[in-house]
Amino acid sequence: MRRPIGWVDKAFPEGRREVKVQYHADDIMWKFKLKGEQDWDRDSQPREEDWLTLEKKIKQLIQRGHQYQRELQLAELRGKKN
């Protein structure tokens, strides 16, 4: 299992939130945490903006040799397997 990909979403309507994405086999696990919260929210569904940000981050990591193309393909399919 690789290190999670994470970023801070400052444009989220409810305030600043931290986003972490982790790959396990062919599954994508999302975690969200609003500023000031202690527990991670693992039940919320990612927005389209989150998927686009994830694709951008994966492309950057592929360029540096830290991610695989199949992880980008899974993100482009929005987590749905063929």
In a domain, 45, yes or no: yes
- In what order do the strands lie in the sheet containing 17-24? 5-9, 17-24, 27-34
The more confidently predicted of residues 30 and 72 is: 30
Number of domain units in the chain = 1
Give the pLDDT band of residue 82 (cuts 50, 70, 90).
low
Residue 9 is part of which domain span? 5-76
- pTM here is 0.84
Return the exposure string of 39-76: e unless at least 16 CB atoms fall within 10 Å of the residue's CB, then b: eeeeeeebeeebbebbeebbeebeeeeebeeebbebbe
Check if the beta carbon of residue 8 is closer than 8 Å to that of residue 60.
no
pLDDT tens-digit map of 37-53: 999 999 999 999 999 99
In a domain, 12, yes or no: yes
